[in-house]
Amino acid sequence: MAKEYIQKIPKKPLFKRISYIIPDNYSTVYKNKGITDNDEQIMLFNATQFGGFRCKQIPSYIKNRMEFALDWFDIRRDNGFYNFKANSRFLSELGNIKIRPLKKIWNNQVVNEDEMHEYGFSDAELKESRDFLNALNKFYSSLRIGISIPASGITLEDRVNLARFNEIPFLVKKPKAGGRFFHPGSSFQRIASPLRTMLTINGSKTSEIDISAATLQFLGIVLKKYVSSKIMDQILSKDDPYQYFLERLNSINAQRNDKGEILREDLKTIIYTTVYSSKKTQKHSVDHKLRLLGTRYKYSEFAKIFPEFFNAVDALKLKLDFPPHIAVYREESKYAQKVLEKGCLELKLPIIPIHDSFITTINNIPKLKDIIDSTATELYGRHLSYKIKY
């Protein structure tokens, strides 16, 4: 009997006094009920949008309004939190407010200074990151991202995320992810791939350019930088870098009269596991993945078929004081920053990133292609393969 999978609606958020702009249609209904106090409206906003909220300790401005809170919320203590949940009165009197996408009030740091230092970023890199993100987010403040929510064909989780979708792009940098750029909260970066084609920027349809096999391409750049390896040159000479591996593997398959082919996504899993695993766990992790994929290969066979690649990755792991994928991410974020500097800050083009891909309006795709090409030439002296996804 097949298991039944139930989508979970995200938990009620921790209560924050000023996190979102309350949509006009919400505040109008509150005022019609005679509720004009700002803190009381914020409490009702959390119930309208999220069904309620939770907090470790009840803050003083709620304690001072406990009579009001008890009018509209069921309040219970559970697992160390005070849970405020919309009660029956709220549902009967305010339950018909039409949910709107949220506009975040961005008052959080674009970089965490302690984490930047902990993960090896210098003071100069910290300042550069902060200055860049402050300038970028100032530019983004004039952009509005839109998306039409389909009536059917999406999961409950997608529907909830889209209902809370934040219209304003805003990026922060996560040092523990190698300095990658993230859009926190209900993010455009987390929208399912099929839904991205519906994204608009300031009302205009968008298109996305994706760096092909980005992990392999940036791994090649990292290998040259740290271990002077040229193994990736022959791999990266292909339009699809994974094709180098696939051609050799499927040629061996044919010689062994194996019926099945190694699929591209399965190969990506093996390569990612090799790069992401520690030197100590690498063999075990790859063998485990190969068993899960149902192939007849073992780690030792892969290492014999592609000795130059595995030797280069082993040398990189010995050279670095941190995992190789962090070096890959750092190179990727360095490249992304340069693209955004040229596109957004210099040319004022509306470009938003999803790590190794970039979204802009359709009419700006030719300019974005020029920026991607010129940035790769400037930083690496070579072209990076990419494709237009939609």
Give the mean pLDDT of 175-179.
92
Top-ranked range on mean pLDDT: pick from 188-192, 206-210, 380-384: 206-210
Q: Find the domain containing 130 and state its range.
A: 108-202
Q: What is the DSSP string of 28-51?
A: HHHHHTT---HHHHHHHHHHHHHS
- Note whether 217 and 272 are same-domain residues: yes
pLDDT of residue 13: 67
- Cβ atoms < 10 Å from Cβ of 26: 20
Closest Cα partner for 140 from 104, 175, 164?
104
Q: Quick check: 249 pLDDT over 80?
A: yes
Question: 220 by DSSP, 3-state: which?
Answer: helix
Percent of the chain with pLDDT over 90: 53
Read off φ and ψ for residue 109, nearest 5 degrees.
-70, 145
Which one is predicted more confidently, 228 or 73?
73
For tokens 């924050």, the residue is 16
In a domain, 383, yes or no: yes
pLDDT band of 235, cuts 50, 70, 90: confident
Give the chain's mean pLDDT: 88
In a domain, 319, yes or no: yes
pLDDT of residue 12: 61
- Give yes or no for a contact between 56 and 23, defined as CB atoms under 8 angstroms apart: no
In a domain, 370, yes or no: yes
pLDDT of residue 160: 76
- Give yes or no for a contact between 180 and 331, defined as CB atoms under 8 angstroms apart: no
- Note whether 324 and 362 are same-domain residues: yes
For tokens 């292909």, the residue is 238
Q: What whole-number distance in Å separates Cα of residue 220 and Cα of residue 217? A: 5
Q: Quick check: 112 pLDDT over 60?
A: yes
* pLDDT per position as a tens digit, 37-68: 999 999 999 999 888 998 888 989 899 999 99
Question: 273 by DSSP, 3-state: which?
Answer: helix
Question: Beta-strand (E) ranges in 107-250?
Answer: 145-147, 172-174, 180-182, 199-201, 204-211
Helices 214-227 and 264-276 pack at an angle, to 10 degrees, of 30
Q: What whole-number distance in Å separates Cα of residue 43 and Cα of residue 62? A: 9
In a domain, 2, yes or no: no
Give helix then strand counts, H and E, for the chain. Answer: 18, 13
For tokens 């190794």, the residue is 356
Give the bridge partners for 85, in sequence order: 52, 74
Q: Quick check: 176 pLDDT over 80?
A: yes
Q: Quick check: 102 pLDDT over 80?
A: no
- Note whether 364 and 317 are same-domain residues: yes
pLDDT of residue 364: 98
- Note whether 256 and 364 are same-domain residues: yes
Domain count, the chain: 3
In a domain, 7, yes or no: no
Q: What is the DSSP string of 241-271?
A: THHHHHHHHHHHHHHTT--SPPPHHHHHHHH
In a domain, 176, yes or no: yes
- Note whether 94 and 164 are same-domain residues: no
Tokens of 20: 């979102």
pLDDT of residue 292: 87
Q: Is the model's pTM score more than 0.75? A: yes
First to last CA, the chain: 38
* pLDDT per position as a tens digit, 284-330: 999 999 888 887 788 998 899 888 889 999 999 999 888 889 999 99
CA 210 from chain center: how many Å?
14
- Note whether 221 and 192 are same-domain residues: no
Helix (H) or strand (E) holding 287: helix 282-293
pLDDT of residue 261: 64
Closest Cα partner for 159 from 45, 25, 10?
10
